[in-house]
Structure 1
Amino acid sequence: MRPTTTPTTGALVTGASSGIGRATAVRLARDGVEVVATGRDLAALAPVVDACREAGGTARAEVLDVRDDAAVRRVVDEAAARHGRGLAVVHSAAVVAYGHFEEVPPDVLADVVDTDVLGTVHVARAALQAFRRTGGGHLVVVGSLLGQIATPYMSPYVLSKWAVHGLVRTLQIETRDRVGTEVSLIAPGGIDTPVYRQAATVLGRHGSPPPPVRSDDAVAARVARVLRRPRRLTHVGPGNPVAVAGFRMMPGVFDVLVTPLMRTLGLSTWTGLEPTPGNVHSPRHPAPPDPEEHPVTDRQLHRPRVSRTVTAPAEAVWKVLADGWQYPLWVVGAARARDVDRSWPEPGSRIHHSVGTWPLTISDSTVVEEARAPHHLVLTARGWPAGEARVEIEIVPDGPETCTVSIAEDASSGPGRLVPMPVRQAGILPRNRETLLRLALLAEGRYREELADRG
């Protein structure tokens, strides 16, 4: 794109009440840009304005629903009249819905499309019309990695973001010869924002940002950079290029992997959430989860994971994990169990085992760090002098008789830490795939026996 010659003096930010919009408003205010923070809830915008002012900037709040075309034109026109060619319009307002396509309520799907697609249409049209009158300006649209790939359980959002990406690309072509007018697209990957808990869902679970996760401040910093040096498309997230390449170049492999990865990394581990429209129809700001009821797992460390679908309930898998004497049957590398604490698998309990191939074995232990039956188990596996490894096991129900089990493991202390992580994982990941296979065979076999015994 052409380098901009007009510095940004004012920015209208949509969706500024939380997440990327809020972070962008505060970042631009800190950079000396006069901010108009917009959103559907004035009470939620007040702290954003305060944060902008604390950052040393100037800001005001404006209630705005991007589905209201007339209201969008009014707010954009007011900002353009004040800042002229120095106006940037940063559009980040969006809503999300989770569920199988045919199970998402029609009114929820319609409002996701109205907000994410038609809202973008309204903002883009108002901005470009204002830029034509004033001689220029910069439109920055926050899209998504999901505007370039697809994932299950998010069809309304994927549909919308593909449409947004197509629209923005068209606008970039149409404004190519307009001196002083810039149109940029930001495509974040997994970003830690409240959008996942604010989303509509009929899956019984909230969404979760898939790794590698970046902060909303990282997106805000990229927006500020693009305003200084315009670009057509900017990704935020080191995993984005890999995901896009896999989607385009190996669609068969991508389709096989994306569903289990989404189940284990893109959805919360707890279940039982009642269907909710979230903030799709109207503003909603849920409280953070109770750590006692829904503990935050150490999965936020985002070690590389392997996963497998098991044809047995989560409880059946947990029974295998809870039988410490079966540990050597499913853990690759474990030679024997010498003793098992009676309280296993409660936190602090241990299995005393030997690892290696006879006669070259090492005797040590594995201790439970965290346990939440039947979904979550974190272990520290010791094998000194080789060192220690932290192992995270997640069990996510997919139905009454199936679940997805995932394992993430990495060296936590000892000589293994001296080996570069990609080299460590080259050995760990294949071993854990075999571990998952063994665990699945045990759980499925025991479950079939239980069904047979019930008659």
Structure 2
Amino acid sequence: MPRIPNAVTVITGASSGIGKATALAFAREGARLVLAARRPEALEDTARECRALGAEAIAVPTDVSDGAQVEALARAAIDVHGRVDVWFNNVGTGVFGPYWEATAELQRKVVEINLIGTMQGSSAALPHFLRQGGGVLINMCSMGGWSPTPFAASYAASKFGIRGFSASLRQELTGKPGIHVCAVFPALVDTPGLDRAANVSGRRLEPKALYLTPEAVAEVVLALVRRPRAEVAVGWEATVARVAYGLAPGLTETVSGAAIRAALRRAGRVPRSEGAVARPIAEGTSSRSGKPVPHARGPSLGTLALGGIGLLLGAQWLSGAMTRRG
């Protein structure tokens, strides 16, 4: 494993949210940072904050949906440092609302940024890992990569795709023990991301749920470099979503759809917006959203165990009921 001090670390989506929090976390550990995002000024602000913590950091403005720009990002890392030890594919966006209410172009852009951007980042990183004989590739997935996300269908498609892509890469790299492919699946995180997403629902996006902090996700990313794992959930909701959809996919789809429809009926009206999907916007340059949101603490093993037992019993009851009806 690369030691984090001096590890050359590429982080995309570093101008805000999880990317910014992760850049600062790696800076505190003494990593050498190559930071990417579409907004040059906000990206340079993150690099400046990292340098103030004593780390080396350069900003390379990059649109990850553009393969040539992603290759230029990798070349910048090699030109400055001669190697790449960690590559964190972190960019993510979405369109919220009924799928048919957004243009096909806007939905396609979500997949280009989330899935194709991850694939292009991986294509840029892996040749250097293979040449070096080691490296850690970390792909940002989501709780939505394990279970459906109604009213964010293209987002769900991209996250399911990232999970499958990451799992496939791991098998292709069998026999390369120094190279690791990891996927991170956080629950809802307090970042500017919701405000920057496209919203064609006409309703305000204010989930009434506990949020993870972006710093909590950043700590998981640091831990993956120290001890790589194939898939890691962040937040007990992500674990429950994984178990629930694995045991009772139909019920999970029905419940999640009903919950979001109910929330939409209660939400206030707002203008429809394309957010930052098609092009960058100035708003949202901090790690957190700045809103007064409740933050979740890490669940105890007892909480997870009780949740798992409840899901198992529920699945068994449903199975028995369906058998009796049959």
Instruction: Report the TM-score range of the alignment, normalised by the length of the smaller protein.
Output: 0.7 to 0.9
Q: 1:42 aligns with which of 40, 43, 68?
A: 40
Q: 1:194 aligns with which of 180, 192, 212?
A: 192
User: Structure 1 length as normaliser, TM-score?
Assistant: 0.60
Q: 1:30 aligns with which of 16, 28, 31?
A: 28
Structure having the higher helix fraction is 2
1:327-353, Cα deviation, whole Å (9 max, x unpaired)? xxxxxxxxxxxxxxxxxxxxxxxxxxx
Q: 2:269 aligns with which of 259, 267, 272?
A: 272
Deviation at residue 129 of structure 1 after TM alignment:
1.6
Rounded to whole Å, the distance in 1 between the matches of 2:132 and 2:271 is 49
Q: 1:250 aligns with which of 248, 251, 255?
A: 248
Contact 1:100/1:153 (<8 A) preserved = yes
Deviation at residue 81 of structure 1 after TM alignment:
5.0
Query: Which 5+ residue runs of structure 2 have no aligned equivalent?
Result: 286-290, 297-302, 304-326
Amino acid at match of 2:224: V
After superposition, where does 1:16-415 map in structure 2 within 5 Å? 16-80=14-78, 82-83=80-81, 87-208=85-206, 211-263=209-261, 270-286=267-283, 300=294
Change in 2 beyond 3 A, CA 1:20/1:301: closer
Deviation at residue 107 of structure 1 after TM alignment:
1.2
Change in 2 beyond 3 A, CA 1:50/1:248: same
Match of 1:9 in 2: 7
Deviation at residue 100 of structure 1 after TM alignment:
0.9
Deviation at residue 207 of structure 1 after TM alignment:
3.0
Query: Which 5+ residue runs of structure 1 have no aligned equivalent?
Result: 289-295, 303-420, 422-455
Change in 2 beyond 3 A, CA 1:9/1:19: same
Match of 1:414 in 2: none
- The percent identity for this pair of structures is 30
Rounded to whole Å, the distance in 1 between the matches of 2:240 and 2:169 is 27
Change in 2 beyond 3 A, CA 1:262/1:117: same
Match of 1:330 in 2: none
Give the SS at the match of 1:12: strand
Give the SS at the match of 1:39: coil
Rounded to whole Å, the distance in 1 between the matches of 2:210 and 2:255 is 16
Quick one: higher RCO (CA 8 Å, sep 6+), 1 or 2? Answer: 2
Amino acid at match of 2:168: T
Rounded to whole Å, the distance in 2 between the matches of 1:286 and 1:205 is 19
Contact 1:80/1:134 (<8 A) preserved = no
Give the SS at the match of 2:108: helix
Give the SS at the match of 2:24: helix
Contact 2:244/2:252 (<8 A) preserved = yes
Contact 2:16/2:284 (<8 A) preserved = no
Rounded to whole Å, the distance in 2 between the matches of 1:81 and 1:170 is 30
Aligned residues: CA RMSD:
2.6
Rounded to whole Å, the distance in 1 between the matches of 2:225 and 2:112 is 27
Rounded to whole Å, the distance in 2 between the matches of 1:74 and 1:192 is 31
User: Structure 2 length as normaliser, TM-score?
Assistant: 0.82
Rounded to whole Å, the distance in 2 between the matches of 1:29 and 1:216 is 15
Give the SS at the match of 1:192: coil
Deviation at residue 226 of structure 1 after TM alignment:
0.5
Amino acid at match of 2:272: P
Change in 2 beyond 3 A, CA 1:235/1:268: farther
Rounded to whole Å, the distance in 1 between the matches of 2:88 and 2:244 is 30
1:9-56, Cα deviation, whole Å (9 max, x unpaired)? 111100001101111111101100011111001011122112212323
Give the SS at the match of 1:90: strand
Structure having the higher strand fraction is 1
Contact 1:205/1:273 (<8 A) preserved = yes
1:77-136, Cα deviation, whole Å (9 max, x unpaired)? 331455456521111011111011122211110111111111111101111122223332
Worse-matched range after superposition: 155-164 or 277-286:
277-286
Contact 1:52/1:58 (<8 A) preserved = yes
Rounded to whole Å, the distance in 2 between the matches of 1:287 and 1:233 is 29
Contact 1:192/1:209 (<8 A) preserved = no
Give the SS at the match of 1:15: coil
Change in 2 beyond 3 A, CA 1:276/1:69: same
Match of 2:312 in 1: none
